[in-house]
């Protein structure tokens, strides 16, 4: 684990992970995946959290700065990319996406608020560069701040599809910005940014769960929302 991180802040981030897990489980419940199906999906997510935590707590696996590709990309991020591709291009995956509740898909993005605060605090502790925070070049907090309003307006069926498409597009660009910034500022052979204060946090437990657990679920929520928009034939959601 990282040194010089207060226990209270570790508890805060643990609560953020639990919030992400809980909101996604609740999304499944509100989508009709109740009972056995919700338990199965939740168990898979819990297994992934435990696996990624174990790899980070190993002390040398993700912290090998000479590995190419970096271990966290190969064993933490790449598997989630494969899973997302399977969901997008398989019939069962698309049916799963189509069954999700659109209101809670939008509300799910509220998790980006504590994530942004986490990144800012990590910068203050010297564990990530300022460019990864809302004080620098990361404006992903916009998604978290607007998510409850967007979800409410979707509930009221008060927004045209083009506005929702623009919102998803902007928020996807903001997500891509922080992901690219994080990747290029992490200490590895691929590092191109922030050499004076690199992004070391994502290599250590529990903050490795940011790119390996929270970000993939946020990306999935956008993809499912956009699929729903493209399938809807009316001008309103």
Q: Which residues, at least 6 apart from 48, have a Cβ–Cβ distance to it below 8 Å? A: 212, 213
Q: Which residues, at least 6 apart from 195, have a Cβ–Cβ distance to it below 8 Å? A: none
Tens-digit pLDDT profile for residues 74-116? 999 999 999 999 999 999 899 999 999 999 999 999 999 999 9
Q: Smallest Cα–Cα separation from 113: which of 23, 185, 237?
A: 23
- In this predicted structure, the answer to whether residue 234 has a pLDDT above a threshold of 70 is no
* pTM for this model (two decimals): 0.94
Tens-digit pLDDT profile for residues 162-201? 999 999 999 999 999 999 999 999 998 889 998 999 999 9
Mapped onto helix, strand or coil, the DSSP state of residue 2 is coil
Mapped onto helix, strand or coil, the DSSP state of residue 163 is helix
């Amino acid at each position: 684990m990282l040194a010089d991180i207060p226990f209270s802040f570790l508890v805060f981030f643990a609560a953020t992970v639990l919030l992400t897990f809980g909101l996604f489980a609740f999304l499944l419940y509100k989508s009709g995946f109740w009972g056995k199906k919700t338990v199965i999906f939740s168990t898979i997510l819990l297994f992934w959290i435990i696996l990624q935590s174990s790899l980070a707590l190993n002390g040398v696996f993700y912290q090998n700065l000479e590995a190419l590709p970096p271990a966290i990309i190969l064993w933490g991020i790449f598997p989630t990319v494969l899973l997302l591709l399977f969901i997008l291009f398989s019939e069962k995956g698309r049916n799963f996406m189509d069954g999700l509740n659109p209101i809670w898909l939008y509300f799910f993005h509220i998790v980006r608020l504590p994530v942004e605060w986490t990144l800012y605090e990590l910068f203050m502790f010297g564990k990530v560069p300022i460019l990864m925070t809302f004080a620098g070049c990361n404006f992903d907090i916009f998604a978290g701040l607007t998510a409850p309003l967007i979800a409410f307006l979707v509930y009221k069926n008060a927004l045209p599809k083009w506005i929702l498409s623009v919102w998803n597009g902007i928020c996807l660009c903001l997500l891509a910005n922080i992901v690219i910034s994080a990747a290029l500022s992490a200490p590895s052979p691929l590092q191109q940014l922030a050499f004076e204060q690199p992004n070391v946090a994502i290599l250590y437990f529990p903050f490795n769960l940011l790119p390996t657990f929270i970000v993939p679920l946020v990306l999935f929520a956008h993809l499912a929302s956009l699929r729903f928009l493209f399938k809807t034939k009316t001008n309103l959601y």
